[in-house]
């Protein structure tokens, strides 16, 4: 069919469209880095944040989840239509559920009662089979150990199932070494003076260590850990922010030349509310801990130093906890006073 100028109106049956990703997993990574202008006012340092919550699954765990499954598929450790079994406090489970659904794999996610209701609903919406652990391990008193014990039982009951083992899988580290860390450096134009990374499996931390060491950067890496975490010392009770800290020792990162900053539940809540109210950025508790740690650091570094932060996940998943007034009344009743301390 022609128009009045003789131009064909027939559509090409396979039109060429440049730079369009194929499938949702192709959009993982290349998250933006921004300068924090409002909470950065008056600070000695320049504050930058890499927005990992803009990954399609809502967190930086999308990266290692995809890396662990694709490497296992390539090596034949996962068969077509196979079963994945993993323990998670939330975000890694969602990342694995997203990738497993895309690859048409079955996924069982072992969680515990600290996992937020919203994360459970997301897991189920993505087709994951959720196993809820209601009691901690009888010998250690830790939910992580109870989750791992249940994973071991399920693996025994399902021969041929694949356990990514996010706690020791080198693909976890490599995903951040090959993407998250170089993306940050490329965005800033050079390695930052400081980079703050929230800890859990320590895959992100290990990835930044590996990349920055490889390019001989002088960046000081700061691990933001939860008070009571066992990653770098003896455990203690009191952790209540899912996904920050761990009941197990760090396996994927080195403690050499590493600075560790411990943050409380109240710090995590305060930082999340600061970002929401000052920068209009809605993030989860681990990001809040990173923000408070960065603001404390910014008060004592040299003028003009660059302080970069990795913000792991989005805040919509915490509307029933850290952004809930009833929850705040119990866990952080002096929130307003705490926030005012960072406006001084």
User: pLDDT by residue (tens digit) across 334-344?
Assistant: 999 999 998 76
Q: Is the dihedral of CA 139, 142, 146, 148 positive or negative?
A: negative
**DSSP code of residue 197:** E
Check residue 344 and give its pLDDT: 64
Collapsing DSSP to helix, strand or coil, 56 comes out as coil
Instruction: Report, as an integer, the average pLDDT of 118-145.
Output: 94
Q: How confident is the model at residue 42 (pLDDT cuts 50, 70, 90)?
A: confident
Q: Are 211 and 197 spatial neighbours (Cβ–Cβ below 8 Å)?
A: no
Q: How confident is the model at residue 1 (pLDDT cuts 50, 70, 90)?
A: very low
Instruction: Report, as an integer, the average pLDDT of 208-229.
Output: 96
| Separation CA 133–CA 89 (nearest Å) | 11
Percent of the chain with pLDDT over 90: 79
Q: Which residue has the tokens 């009833």?
A: 326
| Separation CA 103–CA 206 (nearest Å) | 27
Residue 55: pLDDT over 50: yes
Strand partners, 307: 47, 194
Q: Are 310 and 221 spatial neighbours (Cβ–Cβ below 8 Å)?
A: no
Give the β-pairing of 220-226 and 194-198: parallel
Percent of the chain with pLDDT over 70: 93
Q: How big is the CA angle at 135 (ends 134 and 138), to the nearest 5 degrees?
A: 160
Check residue 233 and give its pLDDT: 81
The length of the chain, given as a count of residues: 344
**DSSP code of residue 180:** I
Residue 264: pLDDT over 80: yes
Q: How confident is the model at residue 9 (pLDDT cuts 50, 70, 90)?
A: very low
Residue 275: pLDDT over 90: yes
| Separation CA 62–CA 125 (nearest Å) | 16
State the alpha helices, DSSP H only, in 108-169. Answer: 117-125, 143-157
Q: Are 254 and 320 spatial neighbours (Cβ–Cβ below 8 Å)?
A: no
Q: How confident is the model at residue 3 (pLDDT cuts 50, 70, 90)?
A: low
Check residue 11 and give its pLDDT: 52
Check residue 14 and give its pLDDT: 57
Strand partners, 84: 107, 162
On average, the pLDDT of the chain sits at 92
Highest-confidence segment of 37-51, 198-212, 236-250: 198-212
Collapsing DSSP to helix, strand or coil, 101 comes out as helix
Instruction: Report, as an integer, the average pLDDT of 99-125.
Output: 95
Residue 24: pLDDT over 50: yes
Chain segment 310-337, per-residue pLDDT in tens: 999 999 999 999 999 999 999 999 999 9
């Amino acid at each position: 069919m022609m128009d009045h100028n003789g131009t064909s109106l027939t559509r090409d049956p396979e039109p060429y469209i440049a730079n369009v990703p194929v499938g949702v997993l192709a959009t993982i990574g290349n998250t933006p880095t921004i300068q924090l202008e409002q909470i950065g006012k008056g600070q000695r340092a320049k504050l930058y944040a890499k927005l990992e919550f803009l990954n399609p699954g809502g967190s930086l765990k999308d990266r290692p989840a995809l890396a662990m499954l694709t490497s296992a598929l390539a090596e034949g450790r996962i068969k077509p239509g196979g079963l994945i079994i993993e323990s998670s406090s939330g975000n890694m489970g969602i990342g694995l559920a997203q990738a497993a659904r895309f690859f048409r794999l079955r996924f069982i996610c072992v969680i515990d009662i600290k996992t937020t209701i919203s994360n459970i609903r997301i897991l189920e919406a993505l087709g994951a089979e959720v196993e809820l652990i209601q009691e901690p391990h009888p010998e250690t008193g830790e939910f992580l150990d109870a989750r791992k014990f249940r994973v071991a039982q399920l693996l025994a009951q399902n021969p041929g199932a694949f356990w990514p083992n996010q706690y020791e899988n080198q693909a976890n580290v490599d995903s951040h070494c090959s993407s998250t860390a170089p993306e940050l450096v490329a965005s800033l134009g050079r390695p930052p003076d400081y980079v703050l990374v929230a800890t859990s499996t320590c895959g992100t931390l290990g990835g930044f260590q590996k990349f920055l060491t490889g390019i001989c950067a002088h960046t000081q890496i700061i691990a933001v850990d939860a008070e009571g975490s066992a990653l770098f010392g003896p455990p203690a009770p009191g952790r209540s922010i899912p996904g920050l800290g761990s009941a197990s020792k760090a396996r994927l990162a080195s403690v050499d030349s590493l600075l560790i900053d411990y943050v409380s539940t109240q710090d995590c809540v305060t930082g999340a509310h600061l970002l929401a109210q000052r920068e209009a950025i809605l993030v989860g508790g681990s990001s809040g801990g990173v923000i408070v740690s960065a603001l404390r650091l910014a008060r004592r570094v040299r003028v003009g130093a660059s302080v970069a932060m990795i913000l792991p996940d989005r805040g919509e998943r915490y509307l029933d906890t850290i952004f809930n007034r009833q929850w705040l009344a119990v866990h952080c009743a002096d929130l307003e006073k705490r926030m005012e301390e960072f406006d001084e």
